[in-house]
Amino acid sequence: MNATAETRPFEAEVAQVLHLVTHSLYSHKEIFLRELISNASDACDKLRFEALGKPELLAGDTDLHIDVSVDKDARTITIRDNGIGMTRDEVIANIGTIASSGTRKFLEALSADKKADANLIGQFGVGFYSAFVVADKVTLVTRKADMAAGEGVRWESSGTGEYTLESVNATERGTSVTLHLKADEDEFLQPWQLRSLIARYSDHIGFPIRMPKDKDGKPSEEWDVVNQASALWTRPKAEIKDEEYHAFYKHISHDFNDPLAWTHNRVEGNQNFTSLLYVPAQAPFDLLMGGRDERKGLKLYVKRVFIMDAAEQLLPAYLRFVRGVVDSDDLPLNVSREILQQNRNLEKLKSACTRRVLDLLDKLAKDEPEKFTTFWKTFGNVLKEGLSEDFANKERIAKLLRFASTKSEGAAQTVSFDDYIGRMKAGQESIYFITADGYAAAKGSPQLEALKANDVEVMLMVDRIDDWMMGYLNEYAGKKLRNVAKGDLELDKLGGASAEARKETEKAAEGVVKKLKELLGERVREVRVSTRLTDSPACIVLDEHDMGLVMQRLLKQAGQDVPTSKPALEINPAHALVKRIETDSAHAADLALLLLEQAQLLEGVALEDPAAYVRRLNALIC
């Protein structure tokens, strides 16, 4: 080794990933080729972009391409690109350590099912290491585009804990990765095998992928282009097969699964652009955690030149699961992120892309309900964020929401507001819903009793985000949305007791209401006769403008100051427990407290003094 050679250990986490890759991942070994070609293609993209402002980077070598070759005697495969290349420091940063938090997250996400884990490898930005699935030694030689020939770098590792770095002379810019195949991986030494893998996984790569022409069974000096080498989205829709759309999706998303759906459009007019947007079938690992900050997988091209990952600029956060490309003819080629943010065309592009995705989801809901169900299960809660984020499309987003309801089967979230409206009772003016912590809590909630008894459907909103979300949605299609745990339900028009009958009941219950007020004192804001209850003795009701209890609880858990409003207790005077409060004066005080505490428990409220509650309950039982 020369004076600039050194041996360095991998970061501990990288070493762990490598160990896993070399020892556990046996399925779909061939993905290494896709991952390495994908890196080579990114390197060509980067160079083309940087050369826009600095044409001298190309140094006369303007035909960007990727070469794949095999040396049967040496038992190696080499993937070479004439893209941007790397400096020594970049090699250390990109290959020896992982700058992004990808590796750690990859390790955290690992499960016992190592087969499934193979699928994760690209997603976590550790694709390069897939080389070690088939190779027991990998040699990378690279030279950055603007560096002198003497500043090449040779990196080599057998994937076990350390790597060596050495300065080398590299006359050509770019990167070559040579895999020294493991003993039993001879199948990858067959050029036809590599060609068919490239056709399957990398056909859509926009740069030519070349392999040496076979002459008399031997590789020659001439090259064949083995892929289509035209950016997929620029081709006419009718000519693109589903498999090609799938392969392209996998390339940009690093997802191993097929996408759920996509929309591919060319728009001409005021703005000229092409978009190819995909909805994945599975959630990317970072969808919920951190996914809002650092979004990837939506690429901006200008006139076929890759500019940058621009998910934040092209779609709102609530559509952050979308992957794809947008290729604009109108943006300036030399856009930086800052310039991009101020560009008026961009705002238009963003709303156009948003519309495309919502159109796609609409279509899915209408024409492919099963796929829509998959979508909803995976991304429904993310889409809900749109109600607060995207005022202009609120109604369209609300149309896509699905919930369980008192008239649907089980906990499956299948009922839309339109379904609900379609079967509303004559005279019904509002859409009723309840929010709770989970399906059982919602379905068993006492607040629903009278509505159920009168055959009025109630939407059961059971996800944590729902309470918050409904704060942004007051009506849908002209119908008011009413939380059944809040305010007056106005049930008289829907078969509930008439105003006179209510007055009478209230009058008859004046005594017990007064007594409860005395007994509960400061604990409650009000005690009143309920119109909601048929079977249960009592429930808690919020004011129209109170924050929902689920939301209050979440904020408290998050350490926030929440103004605690005192609960209003509604009672069912016909219930035996309520009657007993009037007659059993020895236990009235305990019974009154129990009534309140039970109602609080049903709302998922943590009791202030659970021990006292248990004592009271036991005293009454024994």
Q: Which of 18, 95, 459, 516 binds ligand ADP (CB under 6 A)?
A: 95
Q: Judged by CB, which is closer to ligand ADP: 91, or 431?
A: 91
- Sequence length of the chain is 622
- Residue 514: count other Cβ atoms within 10 Å of its Cβ: 11
Q: Which is nearer to ligand ADP, 43 or 360 (CB)?
A: 43
CA 68 to CA 209: how far, in whole Å?
7
Using alpha carbons only, what angle is made at residue 276 by residues 271 and 279, rounded to the nearest 5 degrees? 130
Cβ proximity to ligand ADP, 91 vs 529, nearer residue: 91
Cα 346 to Cα 115, 342, 397, distances in angstroms: 41, 8, 22
Q: Does 94 sit near ligand ADP (CB under 6 A)?
A: yes
- Distance CA(573)–CA(24), nearest Å, equals 66
Q: How far is CA 248 from the centre of its chain?
A: 19
* β-strand partners of 457: none
Residues 249-288 that bind ligand ADP (CB under 6 A): none
Are 570 and 541 a contacting pair, CB within 8 Å? yes
127 binds ligand ADP (CB under 6 A): yes
With CB under 6 A as the contact rule, the residue among 18, 84, 358, 489 that binds ligand ADP is: 84
Select from 126-134, 231-239, 286-294, 495-503 the region that touches ligand ADP (CB under 6 A). 126-134
For the record, the structure tokens of 148 come out as 């002198």
Nearer to ligand ADP by C-beta: 155 or 301? 155
User: What DSSP string describes 136-156?
Assistant: EEEEEEEE-TTS-GGGEEEEE
Touching ligand ADP, residues 290-309 (CB under 6 A) = none
Nearer to ligand ADP, 11 or 330 (CB): 11
Total residues in contact with ligand ADP, by rule CB under 6 A: 15
Closest distance between ligand ADP and the C-beta of residue 308, in Å?
A: 14
How many CB atoms neighbour CB 409 within 10 A? 8
Pull the structure tokens for residue 78. 């080499």
Dihedral (CA of 112, 114, 116, 118) sign: positive
The CA distance from 306 to 312, in Å, is 16
- Which runs of E-coded beta strand occur in 479-615? 479-483, 526-529, 538-541, 568-571
Footprint of ligand ADP on 38-67 (CB under 6 A)? 39-40, 43
- Looking up tokens 């044409």 gives 55
Contact between 86 and ligand ADP by CB under 6 A: the answer reads yes
- 28 in Cβ contact with 133 (< 8 Å): no
Distance of alpha carbon 316 from alpha carbon 298, whole angstroms:
12
Q: Which is nearer to ligand ADP, 121 or 364 (CB)?
A: 121
State the nearest-atom distance from the C-beta of 566 to ligand ADP, in Å.
54
* Beta bridge partner(s), residue 155: 140, 165
Residues 16-35, mask of contacts with ligand ADP (x by CB under 6 A): -------------------x
145 touches ligand ADP by CB under 6 A = no
Give min distance, CB of 605 to ligand ADP, in A: 46
With contacts defined by CB under 6 A, name the span among 119-127, 159-167, 185-193, 236-244 that binds ligand ADP: 119-127
Member of 22, 76, 175, 406 binding ligand ADP (CB under 6 A) = 175
Based on the shown chain and the rule CB under 6 A, indicate whether residue 121 belongs to the binding site for ligand ADP: no
Q: Give whichever of 81 and 117 is closer to ligand ADP, judged by the CB atom.
A: 81
Q: Pick the closest to residue 39 from 110, 90, 107 (CA basis).
A: 90
Q: Which is nearer to ligand ADP, 126 or 484 (CB)?
A: 126
126 binds ligand ADP (CB under 6 A): yes
Residue among 108, 265, 86, 82 at smallest CA distance from 174: 82
DSSP readout, 152-187? EEEEEE-SSSEEEEEEE--SS-EEEEEEEE-TT-GG
Nearer to ligand ADP, 41 or 536 (CB): 41
Smallest gap from Cβ 121 to ligand ADP, in A, equals 9
Task: Compare residues 93 and 614 and give the one whose CB is closer to ligand ADP.
Answer: 93
Of 85 and 259, the one with the shorter C-beta distance to ligand ADP is 85
Residues numbered 212-251 forming contacts with ligand ADP, rule: CB under 6 A: none
Distance CA 44, CA 548 (A): 53
Which range touches ligand ADP (CB under 6 A), out of 79-87, 182-190, 209-217, 505-513? 79-87
CB 179 within 8 A of CB 134: yes
In this complex, which beta carbon is closest to ligand ADP, that of residue 309 or of residue 329? Answer: 309
Cβ-count burial of 12 within 10 angstroms (0-12 exposed, 13-18 middle, 19+ buried)?
A: exposed
Contacting ligand ADP within 554-583 (CB under 6 A): none
Residue 476 interacting with ligand ADP (CB under 6 A)? no
User: Taking CB under 6 A as the rule, does residue 401 contact ligand ADP?
Assistant: no
Burial string for 77-94 (b: 16+ CB within 10 Å, else e) reads: bbbbbbbbbbebeebbeb
Q: Least CB distance from residue 40 to ligand ADP, whole Å?
A: 5
Would you count residue 83 as binding ligand ADP (CB under 6 A)? yes
Q: What's the min distance (Å) between Cβ of 125 and ligand ADP?
A: 3
- Contact residues toward ligand ADP (CB under 6 A) are 35, 39-40, 43, 81, 83-84, 86, 94-95, 125-128, 175
